[in-house]
Amino acid sequence: MGQKVLAMINGENDLQLVAVFNPVAKSQDPADYDLDSSVKVYNDYSQIDVDADIWIDFSIPSAVFDNTKFAIEHNIKPVIGTSGMSEDQIAELKKLADDKKLGGIIASNFGVSAVLMMKFAQVAAKYFDHSEILEFHHEDKLDAPSGTAMNTAKLIHDVQQKDQVNNKNEQDKIGARGGDYHGIKIHAVRLPGFVADEEVVFGGQGETLTIKQSTTDRNSFMKGVRIAITEVMKRDELVVGLEKII
Ligand SMILES: NC(=O)C1=CN([C@@H]2O[C@H](COP(=O)(O)OP(=O)(O)OC[C@H]3O[C@@H](n4cnc5c(N)ncnc54)[C@H](OP(=O)(O)O)[C@@H]3O)[C@@H](O)[C@H]2O)C=CC1
Ligand SMILES: O=C(O)C1=N[C@H](C(=O)O)C[C@H](O)C1
């Protein structure tokens, strides 16, 4: 994702890459990463002295909270795609940014199809009391469930305002019923061949509804990242979810 972001920034006249950060970067020479000589390469927070408007983060679940906190504390507007933060961590970062009137966004998914899937799921959630989420990702994904699956479940729960009820007598011998968010079961598949897909299945008396999106190319996320960059410059609070913007 970092490479996709760099390519997108290089293609936009009004955006300029001023620095990159990776604590495991051995070299700090931009030439070693095919970056322009003006780009600073940092591998420690203490070195970061650049005047940047925006911090774009597609890193790893264990680093994203500290990275985002650092950005906010240094008045750099965060555009965060990395998954894996808890609801409490996101709430803490939102308070930090909002108190400073700093624009920012944390988006579980920057793809238009995923954002629409989540919006459609919120509509369906008004009419169906039961739903389950299936998400399919490449085998290298670190976190489960995906950020998108967690956000979808949260958005459904926000509409329904009550826990979904499952069969109390069922006996799950090996965890086959998946994860559970307020009664919404989440099933995570990790297989080579997938990029990122999600299905939200709603069940009612005598009918089901499936809302499905597929990501086949990671360039698809860049349209949403570009929109987010423009939006956070105009805002004075941290927005959680691209669905709040588009
Ligand atoms: N919101 C969205 O639309 C999308 C979100 N994602 C999320 O983005 C994240 C990244 O995904 P992906 O690019 O596939 O993952 P990768 O594992 O390919 O890339 C993660 C990168 O983060 C670097 N890194 C490691 N530690 C840190 C740190 N402390 N600070 C900054 N960078 C660090 C790694 O460096 P090194 O290789 O040197 O270890 C690596 O280059 C995941 O959480 C994924 O779920 C992905 C796609 C879309
Ligand atoms: O790791 C990925 O690939 C993706 N991560 C995000 C998530 O956790 O939802 C977004 C998308 O699903 C791709």
Beta-carbon-side half-sphere exposure of residue 133 (alpha carbons within 13 Å):
33
Q: Across residues 163-183, what is the average pLDDT?
A: 97
Share of the chain above pLDDT 90, in %: 100
Are 102 and 224 found together in one domain?
yes
- Same domain assignment for residues 224 and 211: no
Same domain, 164 and 233: no
Closest residue by CA, ligand 1 atom 5: 81
Which residues form the domain of 67? 2-106+219-244
Query: Which numbered ligand comes closest to the C-alpha of 41?
Result: 1
Q: For this structure, is 137 an active site residue?
A: yes
DSSP percent split of the chain into helix, strand, coil, nearest 5: 35, 25, 40
Same domain, yes or no: 132 and 201? yes
> 39-42: long-range contacts (C-beta < 8 A, 24 or more apart)?
none
Q: 109: Cβ below 6 Å to ligand 2?
A: yes
Cβ count within 10 A of residue 22: 13
SS3 of residue 50 by DSSP = coil
Same domain, 51 and 95: yes
Pairwise CA distance, residues 3 & 130, whole Å: 39
Same domain, 8 and 87: yes
Look up residue 36 and give its two tokens. 């322009």
pLDDT of residue 54: 98
CATH number at residue 233: 3.40.50.720
Same domain, 150 and 197: yes
Quote the ligand 2 centre to 205 CA distance (angstroms): 32
Q: Are 52 and 207 in contact (CB under 8 A)?
A: no
3-state secondary structure of 130: strand
Q: How large a percentage of the chain has pLDDT more than 70?
A: 100
Counted domains in the chain: 2
Q: Are strands 238-240 and 104-106 parallel, antiparallel or unpaired?
A: parallel
Give the pLDDT of residue 105.
98
pLDDT of residue 37: 96
Residue 241 near residue 151, CB atoms below 8 Å: yes
Taking only the tens place, the pLDDT of each residue in 53-110 is: 999 999 999 999 999 999 999 999 999 999 999 999 999 999 999 999 999 999 999 9
Residues 209 and 223 grouped into a single domain: no
Indicate which atom in ligand 1 lies nearest the CA of residue 108.
Answer: 1
3-state DSSP call for residue 81?
Answer: coil
Q: Average pLDDT for residues 214-224, to the nearest whole number?
A: 98
ipTM of the prediction greater than 0.95, yes or no: yes
Task: Judge if 138 and 169 occupy the same domain.
Answer: yes
For residue 211, what are the contacts with CB-CB under 8 A and spacing of at least 6?
Answer: 117, 120, 121, 124, 199, 200, 202
How far apart, in whole angstroms, are the C-alpha atoms of residue 98 and residue 49? 23
Q: Are 208 and 153 found together in one domain?
A: yes
Closest CA to 19 of 61, 54, 67: 54
CA distances from 69 to 2, 40, 204 (A): 19, 20, 43
Cα separation, 79 vs 242, whole angstroms:
10
Structure tokens at 67: 């990275």
pTM assigned to the model: 0.96
User: For residue 195, which atom of ligand 2 is closest to its CA?
Assistant: 3
pLDDT, tens digit (0-9, with 9 covering 90-100), for 175-211? 999 999 999 999 999 999 999 999 999 999 999 999 9
CA 236 to chain centre: 20
The reported pLDDT for the residue numbered 103 is 98
Per-residue pLDDT, averaged over 160-166, amounts to 98
What's the mean pLDDT when you consider all of the chain?
97
Same domain membership, residue 224 and residue 208 = no
- Kindly report the three-state secondary structure assignment for every residue of 146-209: CHHHHHHHHHHHHHHCCCCCCCCCCCCCCCCCCEEECCEEEEEEECCCCCEEEEEEEEECCEEE
Q: Are residues 134 and 55 in the same domain?
A: no
Find the CATH number of the domain harbouring 172: 3.30.360.10
